Chains A and B, each alone.
Chain A
Amino acid sequence: MDPPQGETAIVEIAATRARISDLVMRVHPIPPSMLMADVADLFLADACRDLLCLPIVRDGVPLGTISRYAIMKIFLRQFGREIFGTRPIERFMNSTPLLVNVDADVEAASAYVRENMILPVTEDFIIVEQGMYRGMGMVTSLLALMEQRVAQRGHALVQANQRIKASQAHLVQSEKMASLGQMVAGVAHEINTPLGYVRSNVELARDFVGQTSSALVAASNLIRSLLDDRATDDEIGAHLATAASATESVAETGILEDIAPLFDDTLHGIEQISELVVNLRNFSRLDRARVDRINLNEALESALTIGRNLIKHKADVISDYGELPPVECAASQINQVFLNILTNAAQAISDYGQIVITTRPPDAMSDGPVEIRIRDNGCGMPETVRARIFDPFFTTKPVGEGTGLGLSICYQIIEQHHGSIDVSSVPGEGTEFVIRLPVHQRAGVTEPTAESDTAVSGARHEQQANTAIC
């Protein structure tokens, strides 16, 4: 796609009480050459958390915008991140962004924005001054400002606001799926540790075989000369010396004592690698039908293996598994729920603690739910935090560590499975999550992630196509 020839309506100065300047958010613009994957990372930064889109600017002139939504749509396609992540963002941007003059009248500006925005709202607007980039403005803020001003129109605006909130919630899950991909990459790295010592051990063993075989040759030469009647004492002495020094040098390496543990380690490493690979496949379940009958104890084990590099330094895991009937669910999603909760538990433990997992079948003779409890003895949380943990973007973790999406995703997934998720927590003592899932699903668990879709060309089309969904 070519860079835009911007033909965008700019709201003219219409009133004296200009207030758009109050809305200016000093968002650092991105250059058109920036790579898609880097832009995606920017969206995770604190400063951008509330923004629907980022401005693309060259020499101070706004060229377009790229929305969180557009990026997620691309990354959700198979290998989307790999294929498109290294391309310049310019090729994917919306080249007809909403532009509002900094000294425009608020009313005129919001009329313009409402007329030109597309629902669901996936883009904010650029604020310009004499054609040059000044900052970003949030559609929600603009509408809120109008709300204050025009009481009568309040009703319609509230509705618009709600629609926007709903569409934002819709984006949340996609974002988390993208980060799942990154986590899988992390597990691949986890394999490198056992691979490291396995390879090294095999190389050492090869060297060892080289050394011992020369000692063996020397020893058998000695034996042969001892059995040979014609051999002189001098000859025998020479063979003896060679054999002695060859066996000595083997013994000196200390490898005779070490060879057994070396092979034990190697076998252990190979087991580790196999286990990771098997679990990785189970975890993603890409080769399975979406809704399946799953042994949840196995799913928990998969999640534990996948999260091992996070958990192993933080806690002993004690598993108390009951005998569960197979449960109808979307395996990859339920795995994700377990992983999120286990990750949180590990993160809540400051030094070293305990995570207890308990599973119980439905009460005998009832068609009630199975129950999964995950308890940690970490920091716990006060009521003020507990009340908000399922809110999207609610996090108490430092920037870069938490997106605050984990539990909101869990909540959505469990809800889609007609189950429940509850939490109890005591500050300083720990936290327990209780998940209940019905064994059978009523007709059709809803498809939770974006369906594979058409090529991304011009964000506008995408947005229009999606209006029907929300």
Chain B
Amino acid sequence: MNSKPILLFVDDEERILRTLVMAFRSRYRVLSASSGEQALALLREHPVDVVISDQRMPHMTGVEVLRQAREIAPRAMRILLTGYAELASIVGSINEGEIFRYVQKPWRLDELRDTIAEAVDIARVAPDTTAAPATAPATGGIMVLDGDPALHQLIRQAHPDLHVELADNLDLALTRMAQQAPAVLVTDLQLPEGDISDALRLLKASQPELVTLVVTAFRDTGHLIRLINQAQVYRVLPRPVSRNMLLRSVESALRHHQLLQNRPALMRRHTVEATPVAADNDVGRRVRGYLDRLRGRTTPA
């Protein structure tokens, strides 16, 4: 794979395609498609490294294109580039598109260049070509961080053989997690100590194998976008959440964790954006404390 990396841009506005082609053609081989159908056809024909799609297009949305791209070309990294930040499409891009980045229009050219360069690197070193194991592994615990014990109960009943813990605040959760690092973290965003998004970002940055499932009634779109780019959350389930959806998501989170364990190279596919969060704020301190404890535990004295 020493040839020029291949990018595929999908947008129904030809002017967007034109400017993107101009901006990237010197370093990459650039394909462009003005509809989802055309994009999928190109994905079948060419070994695309990164696909960058708009969301709102006639016939097929960007989320749908990226969902199908996962199957047709699992190696390709997926990026949504959209001017329309609407809740359903953001949640869809996480849960169905499993995207690497959510970039908003208007974009900054230098930032987009960096993001795409990073995605290209990852597509080349960590091709996602293995399917996840068919059944959820019977190892790896689940930490449920939520004020309402109902979720925890549900998950415990569904996974009697797994270690499923409940914590109703971040400190308790971190203490427990330091004793036994879970495979999956199921959490609300709003806890007694406030919003824990920062903690999620720091956790994912230092523990890429931790798979996070956010259950929330919170609907700030900008916030959710940051959770994609900076915390690579695996699923977001809006509250009130249905039992089946929750259990299905936990299942696939466990499988995903297993996959990451088997093929650590794949963790790179979930690299988070460098976070602007100052690590010396309150949350930062707590998470760092947790990480220290974790290291203290794992490195022999």
Contact = CB atoms under 8 A, between A and B. Distances in A.
Interface of A: 28, 30-31, 33-35, 37-38, 41, 86, 186, 189-201, 203-204, 252-255, 258, 261-262, 265, 268-269, 309, 313-314
Given A196-B16, A197-B15, A197-B16, A204 B109 contact: yes
A92 to B, nearest CB: 16
A178 B220 CA distance: 18
B282 interface: no
Contacts of B105: 192-193, 195-196
With most chain B CB atoms within 10 A of its CB, the pick from A31, A189, A200, A254 is A200
B84 A197 contact: no
With most chain A CB atoms within 10 A of its CB, the pick from B18, B59, B148, B190 is B18
Contact of B19 (A31, A33, A197): A197
Contact of B106 (A195, A254, A258, A268): A195
Given A201-B19, A203-B108, A265-B19, 7 more contacts: A35-B219, A189-B86, A192-B104, A204-B22, A204-B109, A255-B22, A269-B15
Contacts of A314: 58
B240 A200 contact: no
Contact of B83 (A34, A189, A203, A254): A189
Interface residue tally on B, bucketed by range = 35 or more
A33 B190 CA distance: 10
Contact of A197 (B18, B26, B82, B219): B18
Contacts of B23: 200, 203-204
Contacts of B18: 197, 258, 261-262, 265
B203 to A, nearest CB: 24
Interface string B34-78: 000000000000000000000011110000000000000000000
B16 A193 contact: yes
A418 B69 CA distance: 54
B92 to A, nearest CB: 13
A189 B107 CA distance: 13
A196 B13 CA distance: 11
Interface in B161-208: 190
A84 to B, nearest CB: 15
B16 A189 contact: no
B25 A254 contact: yes
B53 to A, nearest CB: 13
Given A38-B217, A195-B105, A309-B56, A200 B84 contact: no
Contacts of A194: 15
5 contacts: A192-B84, A193-B83, A196-B81, A199-B109, A254-B22
A200 B58 contact: no
B13 A193 contact: yes
Contacts of B84: 186, 189-190, 192
Contact of A35 (B15, B85, B217): B217
B20 interface: yes
A307 B58 CA distance: 15
Interface of B: 12-13, 15-16, 18-20, 22-23, 25-26, 56-59, 81-86, 104-110, 148, 190, 217-220, 239-240
Contacts of A41: 219
Given A190-B83, A196-B16, A35 B218 contact: yes
B101 to A, nearest CB: 15
Contacts of A190: 83-84
B19 A38 contact: no
B83 A195 contact: yes
Contacts of A255: 22
A328 to B, nearest CB: 37
A145 to B, nearest CB: 29
A35 B220 CA distance: 11
Contact of A200 (B57, B86, B107): B107
B241 to A, nearest CB: 11
Contacts of A28: 240
A297 to B, nearest CB: 28
A360 to B, nearest CB: 32
A258 B18 CA distance: 9
Given A34-B217, A196-B105, A265 B15 contact: yes
B106 A200 contact: yes
B106 A198 contact: yes
A253 B22 CA distance: 8
Contacts of A35: 217-219
- Enumerate the 6 nearest inter-chain pairs by beta-carbon distance, A residue then B residue, closest first: A192-B83, A313-B58, A196-B105, A203-B109, A200-B19, A199-B106
Contacts of B218: 35
Nearest to B220: A86
With most chain A CB atoms within 10 A of its CB, the pick from B15, B86, B104, B218 is B15
Given A189-B84, A195-B83, A258 B107 contact: no
Contacts of A313: 12, 57-59
B63 to A, nearest CB: 15
With most chain A CB atoms within 10 A of its CB, the pick from B59, B105, B190, B239 is B105
A178 B25 CA distance: 45
A452 B247 CA distance: 46
B218 to A, nearest CB: 7
Contacts of B86: 186, 189
A141 to B, nearest CB: 24
Nearest to A351: B59
Nearest to A189: B84
Contacts of B20: 200
Contacts of B106: 192, 195-196, 198-200
Nearest to A196: B105
Contacts of B85: 189
Nearest to A313: B58
A196 B83 contact: yes
A268 B15 contact: yes
A325 B301 CA distance: 90
Contacts of A31: 148, 217
B59 to A, nearest CB: 8
Contacts of B12: 313
A197 B81 CA distance: 12
Nearest to A258: B22
Given A35-B219, A189-B85, A197 B13 contact: yes
Contacts of B81: 196
B229 to A, nearest CB: 17
A262 B18 CA distance: 8
A199 B56 CA distance: 20
Contacts of B109: 199-200, 203-204
A191 B84 CA distance: 9
Nearest to B190: A33
A258 B107 CA distance: 21
Contacts of A265: 15, 18-19
